[in-house]
Amino acid sequence: MIQVLQKNKFRVFASLSHELRTPLNCSISMLEILKELINDNQQEYIEQYIVPALYSNKLLLNQINDILDFVQMDSDKFKYAFQNFKVIDLLKDCGKLFSIQAEMKEIQIKININEFDNLEICSDPNRIRQILLNLMSNSLKFTKNDGVITIGFEQIKNLKNVYQIYIQDTGIGIKSENLEKIFNFYYQQQDEQLNSQGCGLGLTISNSIAKGLIQQNNINGIRIGGIEVESTYGIGSKFSFLVQDLLSLDNKQSLNSKNNLIQKKFMHTQKKIKAQNIQKKCKCLCVQIIIVDDNQFNLYAIQKLLLQYHFQLKLFSEPNLLIEYLKNMFYNNNCCKTPLLIFMDIEMPIKNGYETTEELILFYQSVKLEKLPIIIACTAYVGQEDKDKSIQCGMNDYINKPILKNGLQQLLIQWRKKLL
């Protein structure tokens, strides 16, 4: 009975996440495109209007992720996705998201990375970003005007391939008797002083996430994991956590043991790519990419992002029309028998993305087609159960909504051999 209730609770929150992410998908995508389209002579409008709106949307997305992660942890569905990334890029990105609020409070944001400007490590950048944004949000909230917030990165002595990331502020600080309480979400609701300042769900989630960024519970006899806090009331606080570079581990099986097939399959590399490099060999005028989504705003947003790469696109809001079109393309097209790639929405009326994918695969198998189109699950659902199900029904990959430009680029890089 308890398991059924837990599962139902997760599905309710997953559905809520879907409803919140759907409008965010269009909003963030359009703002990113608009930011690039405006010419240099109008740069001031970008900084004054577009950038604040874009940053606010991304911070809202982080809050939505916190809510869903809180339920995933309670339902034992929480997972990590390890990949390579450049540390300095991640830290700068987090700093930029709070630059406008910091400027309004005349707070200086510093990045202290010392000799690690070019360091690339293997960890979960999205989870690290989530932690940093939550810590930055609290620091900004509790730091008065003319203060300083430092985002730092340093190597831990005597601990191989282990680094510390920290947020240090000149805020009001925390009383010693409250240091342990700040990580307990349920206790905060009962504590008038803490709740009035809104430490929030983010710190609770961040502490749990940080524990999974280290593959061992202790190193050299030292127990590690989670967020450490140093604070002097009236002077400021320092929140820190450890990350381990899995690229350099002698025992790389520790990574594999914590991740199932779907995570290993979708590890992306952080390579830069230009639009012309993705589509430079696509000379055919046949439809190359198909987008299927019952929401017109989602169709519009993905279409605008993909048009930057000059692909031949086709849009469908009904799965049955898609199936009819693809069958006709196979039987009647003298050139390409299938598109290269299909972005498949999951949650659609009448026939969902799973059912549509299974029907397409059965058709292609019946006509003995060897080279099937790549099918990408394109969904606002981010639970591991949904990702597993997309692979089981025959999809090749997934991308979460809201679709961001960098995420789309990484996906196109991964499948570039198919697209070229």
**Co-location of 168 and 117 in the same domain:** yes
pLDDT exceeds 80 at position 409? yes
**Co-location of 216 and 102 in the same domain:** yes
* Domain closes at, from 207, 230, 259: 259
Containing domain of residue 90, as a range?
A: 80-259
**Co-location of 106 and 131 in the same domain:** yes
Q: How distant, in Å, are the alpha carbons of 10, 12, 273, 310, 420 from that of 280?
A: 44, 44, 12, 9, 7
Euclidean distance between CA atoms 259 and 129, whole angstroms: 20
- Binned at pLDDT 50, 70 and 90, residue 376 comes out as very high
The vertex-262 CA angle with 377 and 3, nearest 5°, equals: 90
pLDDT exceeds 90 at position 63? no
So what's the pLDDT on residue 67? Answer: 77
Parallel/antiparallel/unpaired status of strands 397-400 and 374-379: parallel
**Co-location of 195 and 303 in the same domain:** no
Euclidean distance between CA atoms 209 and 196, whole angstroms: 25
SS3 398: strand
* Cβ atoms of 57 and 27 closer than 8 Å: yes
**Co-location of 353 and 245 in the same domain:** no
- Binned at pLDDT 50, 70 and 90, residue 265 comes out as very low
Q: Which of 87-101, 135-149, 279-293 has the lowest mean pLDDT?
A: 279-293
Q: How distant, in Å, are the alpha carbons of 15, 64, 84, 236, 286 from that of 112?
A: 40, 29, 21, 17, 50
**Co-location of 255 and 279 in the same domain:** no
**Block residue for tokens 């869903």:** 68
**Co-location of 283 and 249 in the same domain:** no
**Co-location of 255 and 288 in the same domain:** no
**Co-location of 253 and 395 in the same domain:** no
So what's the pLDDT on residue 135? Answer: 95
**Co-location of 109 and 249 in the same domain:** yes
So what's the pLDDT on residue 238? Answer: 97
* Cβ atoms of 164 and 219 closer than 8 Å: no
- Binned at pLDDT 50, 70 and 90, residue 351 comes out as very high
Higher pLDDT, 381 or 356: 356
Residue at 6 is within a domain: no
* Domain closes at, from 226, 259, 292: 259
Euclidean distance between CA atoms 115 and 100, whole angstroms: 28
Residue at 50 is within a domain: no
So what's the pLDDT on residue 383? Answer: 63
* Cβ atoms of 231 and 166 closer than 8 Å: no
- Amino acid identity of residue 179, one-letter, is L
Euclidean distance between CA atoms 185 and 263, whole angstroms: 29
Mean pLDDT, residues 295-303: 86
Euclidean distance between CA atoms 236 and 170, whole angstroms: 4
Euclidean distance between CA atoms 246 and 255, whole angstroms: 7
**Can you give the pTM of this predicted structure?**
0.70
pLDDT exceeds 50 at position 106? yes
DSSP 219-265: ETTEE--S-EEEEETTTEEEEEEEEE-GGG-S-THHHHHTS-HHHHH
Q: Residue 254 contacts by C-beta under 8 Å, 6 or more apart in sequence? A: 215, 216, 246
pLDDT exceeds 60 at position 84? yes
CATH number of domain containing 340:
3.40.50.2300
Best CA proximity match to 237, nearest among 149, 331, 110, 355: 149
Look at the chain and report how many structural domains it folds into: 2
Mean pLDDT, residues 289-308: 89
Give the phi and the psi of residue 353 in degrees, each rounded to 5: -65, -35
Mean pLDDT estimate for the chain:
81
Mean pLDDT, residues 96-100: 91
Dihedral Cα 157, 163, 167, 170, nearest 10 deg: 10
If one counts every other C-beta atom within 10 angstroms of the C-beta of residue 416, the result is: 15
**Co-location of 245 and 291 in the same domain:** no
Euclidean distance between CA atoms 117 and 11, whole angstroms: 42
Residue at 53 is within a domain: no
CATH number of domain containing 155:
3.30.565.10
Residue at 321 is within a domain: yes
* Domain closes at, from 259, 283, 301: 259
